[in-house]
Amino acid sequence: MDIVKSKSGINWLKYASPKTFYPLAGQLIPWFSVGAAVLIVYGLYLGLLVAPTDFQQGEGYRIIFVHVPAAWFSMFLYLLMAGYAILGLVLNAKLSHMMAKSIAPTGAMFTLVALVTGSFWGKPMWGAWWVWDARLTSELILLFLYIGYFSLQSAIDDTNRADKASAILAIVGAVNVPIIYFSVKWWNTLHQGASISLTKAPAMAAIMLKGMLIMALGFWLYSIAVILARVRCEIMERDSKAALFRQDI
């Protein structure tokens, strides 16, 4: 990091240094936390109280307000993690590796939530808790990739080597994400197609869509707050002798 710093005239990579990043993250976390709480409460209000009944699935469809945002972030956070892994390998930037490592638990959590809530949705609507169709199977593989990622991180003692090895796993595993997303198009699956896509009008009533998007935004701010807090822990663990933490202790 210091090499980059001394070489660049204007210090625009300043925020890539853990020393600068640590207090900045500390200042940002409360804002993201409050934003997440407000949006999630508003999303719950829209989803549970305001949104109308669905013409096919009755009240059972309300699971969509947690299931879909969780599923989106299970995939999006994986791509973000892989992105930071690439950055970490290419720039040899410690902070990028720390970001990647800090994203994994939240991504895994959302994957698990997507799988379990999907199960609670599938049972009454499809008639089965679980089926081995391409969508469900590839999402399960995503969970295994996350678990594999942090098993590898903790299995290797040397931090640098652990970062590099797990970064490679994260990058290779990223092929699974488009497979999950397009599985419902590429193969016959029990899981239905996407209601929301960039290429066509949403197949969803506006108020339902609004509730779902608000909830997703809430999950996004939650993820940012949690990940930043985790990066701070990571910085403290890796660089405990740095004096900058003393003020917090």
| Chain center to CA of 83 | 12
Please report whether residue 52 would count as binding another protein according to CB under 8 A: yes
Please report whether residue 64 would count as binding another protein according to CB under 8 A: yes
Compute the CA torsion angle 149, 182, 48, 57 (nearest 10 deg). Answer: -130
d(CA 36, CA 80) in angstroms, rounded, equals 19
The closest of 246, 248, 244, 249 to 18, measured between CA atoms, is: 244
- Choose, by CB under 8 A, the member of 16, 79, 91, 140 that binds another protein: 140
Q: In the structure encoding, which two tokens stand for residue 87, read together?
A: 């950055």
d(CA 93, CA 87) in angstroms, rounded, equals 7
Scan residues 146-205 and list those touching another protein (CB under 8 A). Answer: 147-148, 151-152, 154-155, 157, 187-190, 192-195, 203-205
Question: What is the nearest approach in angstroms of another protein to the Cβ of residue 102?
Answer: 10
> What pairs with residue 54 in β-bridges?
58
- Choose, by CB under 8 A, the member of 34, 41, 50, 172 that binds another protein: 50
3 state SS of 26 = helix
Q: How many CB atoms lie within 10 A of CB 170?
A: 30
Task: Select from 11-19, 71-79, 82-90, 133-141 the region that touches another protein (CB under 8 A).
Answer: 133-141
The answer to whether residues 80 and 182 touch, using CB atoms and an 8 Å cutoff, is: no
> What pairs with residue 53 in β-bridges?
none
- Choose, by CB under 8 A, the member of 208, 214, 216, 221 that binds another protein: 208
Scan residues 94-113 and list those touching another protein (CB under 8 A). Answer: 105-106, 109, 112-113
Please report whether residue 38 would count as binding another protein according to CB under 8 A: no
Please report whether residue 131 would count as binding another protein according to CB under 8 A: yes
Task: Select from 1-9, 14-22, 79-87, 228-236 the region that touches another protein (CB under 8 A).
Answer: 228-236
Nearer to another protein, 12 or 55 (CB): 55
Question: What is the nearest approach in angstroms of another protein to the Cβ of residue 186?
Answer: 9
Nearer to another protein, 64 or 87 (CB): 64
d(CA 48, CA 57) in angstroms, rounded, equals 15
DSSP output for 114-139: HHHHHHHHHHHHTS-S----HHHHHH
Nearer to another protein, 6 or 188 (CB): 188
The closest of 37, 65, 40 to 51, measured between CA atoms, is: 65
Question: What is the nearest approach in angstroms of another protein to the Cβ of residue 6?
Answer: 28
- Choose, by CB under 8 A, the member of 2, 127, 175, 201 that binds another protein: 127
- Choose, by CB under 8 A, the member of 8, 11, 24, 237 that binds another protein: 237
